[in-house]
Amino acid sequence: MTQTVPREADWEQAPTLLDGAMNLNLTAERCDLAYWLGAVAQGTLRGRAETGHAPDVPTPEHMLRPGPLRDALVLELGYRSVAEEKATRILAHYVAQAPDISGMEFYATQLVDEARHSMVFRRHLVELGLPATGLVEAVDEMSADYTKEILEPVEEFATRTVRDEGDYIGGVAIFTIVIEGVLAPAAELSERKWHPLDPAASEIARGASIDEIRHLSVGSSIIKDHLERNPGYRDRLLEILDRGRRLWDELPEEKYILHRENLFQEGMRQYAGLIGDYEIWPGRRMLDTTPEERYATAERWTDEMAVVRLKYMGLADALPVLGLAG
C-alpha cells in the first residue's frame, strides 16, 4: 500500500515556513514517532537525507570561488550548524522531562531534526570546498564569538528552566516562542535569497523550514493545552517570556546578521546576471534590496508570526510583554 505523505511534510506541497507557522495547527499526539518515521524520514527527506538537497541539484561553480558571496554562505552555514548542535543538546533535557509519551516522542523527533540540520549545514560547507578533515574544529573557531555572545546565553536560559527548575512547559515556551520563534523567519529569508544563487543551499533551508513549521506548531499546541488545563500557570509563563525578551534584547544578534548580509550584498552585485528580476518577496526584486531592508523584513515576519501564534495559544496578554502590538 502506498503511504500518503501529509501536505505539511510533502516537499512540493508544504507551505512556506511563515504561512505554515501562522496557519497550521499540529499536536504532539499527531506528530508522534510513527508520524515522523513515515511523513518525515520517508516523505520530506526522500532522496535528500544525506545532504539536505536532491542529488540533481549540484553546488554551482561560482559558489566555489573565493569572494564575499561564498564567505556569506560559509558564515551562515557555520553559525547555523553550531546553533542546531546546541539545540540538539538542549532538547535532550526536554525528552527527559516530558511528562507524557506524546511529548517524549515528539521531542525525540525534534532532537533528530535539529541534529540533521546541523549535519547538512556542515556537509554543504564541504560541498563549498571546505576540507572535511577538521571541519568541526574549523566551524567552532569561526563561530567562537557568535557562540559565546549569542548561543551560550540562550542555552543557559533554556537549560536552567527545563533542567534545573524542572519547568517543562516553560522550556517549551522558550524554544517555541523565544528561540525558534525568533530564528525561524531568518530561515525563511535564507531559502528565498539563495534560490537563484545556490539552489542546493536553498533546498537545505527549505527542508529545515518544513521541520520548523512542525516544531513551532506542536510547541504552540502544547502550551495552549497546558494553559487551558492549568490557568494558574499563566503568571509564571509571562514571567519566563519577559525574561526571554529582556535576554534577546541584550544579545548583539544584529551585528552578526548584518555582517553576513553586507557580504551577501557585495556578492549579489557581482552575480547580478544570475539573479535578474528574481523577486525575493512579491513585488520586490532582490537586487533592489539592502542588507538593512532584508534584516528589517525578517524582523517584521518574526513579529507577525508571533502575534498569530500567541493569540492561538491564548496568550494575547503576552503581546505587550514581548513588545508586540496586537
The mean pLDDT of 224-237, rounded to a whole number, is: 97
Lookup: cell for 28: 504532539
Q: Residue 247: pLDDT above 90?
A: yes
Per-residue confidence (pLDDT) for residue 1, from 0 to 100 = 38
Q: Residue 187: pLDDT above 90?
A: no
Q: How far is it, in rounded angstroms, from Cα 187 to Cα 193?
A: 10
Give percent of the chain above pLDDT 90.
92
pLDDT digits 0-9 by tens, 96-149: 999 999 999 999 999 999 999 999 999 999 999 999 999 999 999 999 999 999
Q: How far is it, in rounded angstroms, from Cα 275 to Cα 248?
A: 34
φ, ψ for residue 285 (rounded to 5)?
-65, 135
Alpha helices in 230-320 (DSSP H): 234-250, 253-270, 272-275, 291-312
Per-residue confidence (pLDDT) for residue 280, from 0 to 100 = 97
pLDDT band, very low/low/confident/very high, at 309 (cuts 50, 70, 90): very high
Say which CATH class 7-317 falls into: mainly alpha
Q: Residue 179: pLDDT above 90?
A: no
Q: How far is it, in rounded angstroms, from Cα 291 to Cα 313?
A: 33
Q: Residue 2: pLDDT above 60?
A: no
CB 286 within 8 A of CB 319: no
Per-residue confidence (pLDDT) for residue 321, from 0 to 100 = 93
Q: Residue 31: pLDDT above 50?
A: yes
pLDDT band, very low/low/confident/very high, at 4 (cuts 50, 70, 90): confident
Average pLDDT value for the chain:
95
Regarding predicted confidence, which is higher, 128 or 184? 128
Per-residue confidence (pLDDT) for residue 3, from 0 to 100 = 63
